[in-house]
Amino acid sequence: MSTYIIADLHLSEDEPAITAGFINFIHQQAIHADSLYILGDFFNYWIGDDDQTELHQQVADSLKMLSERGIPCYFIHGNRDFLLGQRYAKQCGMTILPQETLLELYGKRILILHGDTLCIDDQAYQDYRKKVHTPWIQRIFLMLPLFIRRRIAEKMRKNSQYASSMKAESIMDVNPQAVINALNHHQADWMIHGHTHRPAIHEVTVGDKQCFRGVLGAWHHEGSAFVIDKQGIDLIFFPFQPE
């Protein structure tokens, strides 16, 4: 038995192959798991739980099937789907966890998070993040008609792509001291996050302790997950369509 962790699928109507890859992943891998954790940017953007689309229904149905089979599913918000709320979580049968959550799995202390909060060198992003996490700004946004919210989200995605293309790669990676601080704060052995789309396992020295930082891959052309069992922690990649 094992625990699966995924992030950065960026599900959208425009990328049906990724959705199909996710549905396959649920039926072929997650179905044999102990539990599933989704660490944000599950959707390309989320503009409110009242945005009931066929895609959202299909995704909710497949996650609900897992939880009904006794495989609990957990979600941590990303920077693109931080507005995903209790209503949709309930539809999926999943539990929303705090942005930094410590898991104790098979004798290891594993800190899970989306990863954007570690990118503290990206000051423009951190300033922007503070604004969009302001409750009254979110309330006003959620009061707008859906078609306007969608237009704003698409504009924000375009701006973000442009802004990211102008930033140095190093600025968009995690800050090493922020990683150490988080591991230390939670007295964790491992940290697993997504967001940077730079899949790897890094060694991190915290005081006199050897820790690890696992980074998930984004689901562009293949799936990516961390699989944790009593044997250890593995980063895996798999095709959207089984061979």
User: Annotated binding residues, as ranges?
Assistant: 8, 10, 41, 79-80, 114, 122, 160, 167, 195, 197
Give long-range contacts, CB 8 A cutoff, 24+ apart: 126-129.
129/79
Asked if 114 interacts with ligand LP5 (CB under 6 A), we say no
Least gap, CB of 193 to Mn ion (angstroms): 9
Continuous segment of H or E residues that includes residue 3: strand 3-6
Instruction: Provide CB contacts within 8 A for 122, sequence distance 6+.
Output: 167, 171, 172
Asked if 80 interacts with ligand LP5 (CB under 6 A), we say yes
Between CA 225 and CA 35 the distance in angstroms is 13
Asked if 213 interacts with Mn ion (CB under 5 A), we say no
Provide the β-strand partners of residue 227. Answer: 4, 234
212 within 8 A of 233, measured Cβ to Cβ: yes
SS3 assignment for 90-122? HHHCEEECCCEEEEEECCEEEEEECCHHHCCCC
Q: Which residue positions form the known binding site for substrate?
A: 79-80, 122, 160, 167, 195
Of residues 41, 62, 28, the one with CA closest to residue 194: 41
Convert residues 124-163 into a mask of x (bound to ligand LP5 by CB under 6 A) and - (unbound): xx--x--xx----xx--x-----------x--xx--x--x
Beta carbon nearer to Mn ion, 127 or 243: 127
Asked if 10 interacts with Mn ion (CB under 5 A), we say no
Least gap, CB of 210 to Mn ion (angstroms): 27
Beta carbon nearer to ligand LP5, 58 or 126: 126
Residues that bind ligand LP5 (CB under 6 A): 45, 47, 79-80, 83, 116, 119, 122, 124-125, 128, 131-132, 137-138, 141, 153, 156-157, 160, 163-164, 167, 172
